[in-house]
Amino acid sequence: MSGHINWNGRILERWPQEVEVARRLLFYGDGLFETLRVVRGELPLAERHWRRLYNGLLLLGFEVPSEWDMAFFKEQLLRVAAHSGRVRFAVWRAGGGHYFAEQNHPYFLATFEPMGEEGFGWFSEGLSMGVCTSVRLPVDAYSGLKSLNAPRYVAAAREAQRQGWDDALLLNAFDRVCEATSSNVFWWEGDVLCTVPLGEGCVAGVMRELTLERAAALGVACREKPAEVEVLQQADEIFLTNAVRGVRPVRIFAGVARATERTHWLYRQVFCPV
């Protein structure tokens, strides 16, 4: 009997087993992921990551096994995580089906990548960043999830590469500031620390959450507000946060040099103790 699958030039009668288990991941990107920083064999932000992942799986209709809890999450990560680096935990829906899934049981894959730094170091060189013109991010109940379906972010990263930027600012469907390719965006207006609300479509970043909490505890005035690009063009300072790199100052935005003094102060107060 002739085969019915063309697997990269090989004609097969059935799916390879390693592909069969990831079929919905391959066809639909039907899942979520978390990327965590490993610092000296510890996972300092694991509880925040687990809470976001668990709530996201419930939102997507996964039947989360009873044994999947915080302890299980950390155990599986530390089985592959070495001394320092980043570990990625991807979860997708098992089985076949089309948009109507045949089942809702999750599979997972944990992978580790070493990094040279021991912790969240200060990026003294700063980033150059421009505004992405090729992508607009949707705004809905699923916008805050770390989805495995990420072609928009890949396209934005490619645009940044073509322009010679380190990163790109992505706008949402209403042409307002949303986020960077893998980070949340903050800016200073005088002594007020600003970022966009989650309702603007940005990912509900773990480091975003931590930054707002610790800045407020230090007595910094924090404000979440929708913003047009012009607001960032007039900002005193801009920086990005994510759970792997911590805080990274933007030294050049839209071709204009930016200061970093307040951001460096916040880094010393908030991120060094992590």
**5-114 is a CATH 3.30.470.10 domain:** yes
Measuring CA to CA, how many Å separate 109 from each of 88, 90, 91? 8, 5, 7
Q: E strand or H helix at 243, and its extent? A: none
Residues 86-139: tens digit of each pLDDT: 999 999 999 889 999 999 999 999 999 998 776 788 999 999 999 999 999 999
Smallest Cα–Cα separation from 41: which of 68, 88, 73, 74?
Answer: 74
| φ, ψ at 170 (rounded to 5°) | -100, 140
Q: Which amino acid is at 162?
A: R
CB proximity list for 128: less than 8 A, separation 6 or greater: 164, 165, 166, 167, 250, 251, 252, 253
Alpha helical stretches, state H, 138-183? 151-163
Q: E strand or H helix at 268, and its extent? A: none
DSSP labels, 106-140:
EEEEEEEEE-S-SS----TT-EEEEEEEEEEE--S
Domain segments of the chain as ranges:
5-114, 127-271
Digit-by-digit pLDDT tens for the chain (274 residues) are 456 898 889 889 888 888 889 999 999 999 999 999 998 889 999 999 999 999 999 999 999 999 999 999 999 999 999 788 999 999 999 988 999 999 999 999 999 999 877 678 899 999 999 999 999 999 999 999 999 999 999 999 999 999 999 999 999 999 999 999 999 999 999 999 999 999 999 999 999 999 999 999 999 999 999 999 999 999 999 999 999 999 999 999 999 999 999 999 999 887 665 4
Strands 127-137 and 246-253: parallel
Distance of CA 183 to the CA centre of its chain: 6
Region of residue 199 (left: phi > 0; alpha: psi -120 to 50; beta: else): alpha
> What CATH class does 127-271 carry?
alpha beta
Tally of CB atoms within 10 A around 54: 18
Q: What is the pLDDT of residue 194?
A: 98
Q: What is the pLDDT of residue 1?
A: 44
Taking the model in full, what pTM does it have? 0.93
DSSP labels, 203-231:
---HHHHHHHHHHHHTT-EEEE----HHH
Buried b (16+ CB within 10 A) or exposed e, 228-255: eeebbeebbbbbbbbbbbbbbbbbbbee
DSSP labels, 132-146:
EEEEEE--STTTTS-
Q: Give the span between the Cα atoms of 121 and 268, in whole angstroms.
A: 10
Smallest Cα–Cα separation from 156: which of 140, 142, 145, 167?
Answer: 167
Q: Are 199 and 139 in contact (CB under 8 A)?
A: yes
